Amino acid sequence: MDKKNIDWSNIGFGYMQTDKRYVSFFQDGAWDEGVLTEDANVVLNECAGVLQYAQTIFEGLKAYTTENGHIVAFRPDLNAERMESSAKRLEMPVFPRERFVDAVTQVVEANAAYVPPYGSGATLYIRPYMFGFNSVIGVKPADVYQFRIFCTPVGPYFKGGVKPLTIRVSDFDRAAPHGTGNIKAGLNYAMSLHAIVTAHQEGFDENMYLDPGTRTKVEETGGANFLFVTRDGKVVTPKSDSILPSITRRSLLHVAKEYLGLEVEEREVYLEEVKDFAECGLCGTAAVISPVGKIVDHDREICLPSGMTQMGPVTKKLYDTLTGIQMGRIQAPEGWIHVIQ
Ligand code: PLP
Ligand code: COI
């Protein structure tokens, strides 16, 4: 199959319209069969639940071309599972897990010409989402929903690829205690927009959010979880009820333990102890693992010993092993790789 004529190695993390997307309607208490369509537009009533009360959730996962030429998706079942918890929290219907994985497969197959070639540095980003479709004016859930999936080829999330990032401790919170920080709801990202725009204006790549209850513990950034490495080589990740349970982070902890023989800890991480870590990285589908070189907490700078020019050694091993598994160079754990073609 001929690939599209795209300069794969130079694309950024942006939206490029592809040929087909999946759409299914929920109406009268049931999902319809779902179809692939060429129409990339959604026409909504002015009073649609998503427009008025932000009733929308989404997922993000990637498809890859492996070393031996297959097209695969990474752990789509976990995205289906997470979308189920997001749906329940926002009083939305659940899109069945097997149908979710099947719809991902259909969309990737239909857009196979957009799956970046092996070794190009780009991947196919897949965006499943669901939103309240019909009009609601009193505050209540919609009763008609649309579930859709589109995909778009992407390059690195952070400009500069694997160059270490400079982040700042945000004065804003992205989540509330007992709020929606642990689900993938559009509203969490709306909450973070002012903080990210001002961070960029002030020369920072991202925000480090603290726990909204006490503002003493590290939570996550606007689009990725944190991984830290201690000076004696232990991998530490923050545990909190208000961060998104990252599939990349869960996978990396397994890789650290089972592939690299490292000790791993999921626990509360205080901002005060960050200065003692050797390495810091941001992990997520879009971010993969992006190294952090400097964390600015108002008038204090925390410079990670791994420096500002390259990834720390443990972060690099984690990165190489995870991407090796995703691209088929390293044997994956059972069930991690969903072969599409
Ligand atoms: N945290 C937030 C707020 C995110 O938006 C994402 C991206 O999905 C992640 C963490 C990473 O999660 P995952 O590894 O499942 O992509
Ligand atoms: C992802 O990594 O899939 C995300 O949803 C992060 C988003 C900020 C692009």
State how far the Cα of 230 lies from the Cα of 220, in Å rounded to an integer.
18
E strands along 205-263, which residues? 206-208, 225-229, 235-238
Residue 221 confidence class, pLDDT cut points 50, 70, 90: very high
- 232 C-alpha vs ligand 2 centroid, how far in Å? 31
pLDDT for the residue 101: 98
127 Cα nearest atom in ligand 2: 3
225 within ligand 1 shell (Cβ under 6 A): yes
Cα torsion angle, 323, 328, 329, 333, sign: positive
- Atom 2, ligand 1: which residue's CA is nearest? 223
Backbone angles phi, psi at 7, to 5 degrees: -80, 75
Q: What is the pLDDT of residue 310?
A: 93
Mean pLDDT of 23-48: 98
Please state the atom number of ligand 2 nearest to the C-alpha of residue 285. 2
What band does 275 get if pLDDT is binned at 50, 70 and 90?
very high
Distance 126 CA to ligand 1 centre (A): 13
Residue nearest to atom 5 of ligand 1 (CA): 223
Question: Chain-wide mean pLDDT for the chain?
Answer: 97
Mean pLDDT, residues 99-104: 98
User: How many residues in total does the chain contain?
Assistant: 341
**Residue of 166, 184, 167 whose CA lies nearest to 175:** 184
Closest CA to 335 of 260, 227, 247: 247
Closest CA to 150 of 132, 124, 131, 123: 124
Smallest CA separation from ligand 1 atom 12, residue: 246
**How do residues 142-201 score in pLDDT, each as one tens digit?**
999 999 999 999 999 998 777 999 999 999 999 999 999 999 999 999 999 999 999 999
Please give the pLDDT value at position 1.
76
**How many percent of the chain have pLDDT more than 70?**
100
Ligand nearest to the CA of 157: 2
Alpha carbon of 224 to ligand 1 centroid (Å): 5
* Confidence label for 122 from pLDDT (cuts 50, 70 and 90): very high
In this prediction, residue 210 carries a pLDDT of 98
SS (H, E, C) 26-40: EECCEECCCEEECCC
Contacts 24+ apart (CB under 8 A), 313-316: 313/279, 314/229, 314/233, 314/235, 314/260, 314/262, 314/278, 314/279, 315/227, 315/229, 315/279, 315/281, 315/289, 315/291
β-strands 225-229, 279-284: how paired? antiparallel
Alpha-carbon span 124 to 63, nearest angstrom: 5
Please state, in angstroms and rounded to a whole number, the distance separating the CA atoms of residues 259 and 4. 36
**pLDDT at res. 47:** 98
Is the pLDDT score of 50 beyond 90?
yes
- Cα 86 to ligand 1 centroid, rounded to whole Å: 13
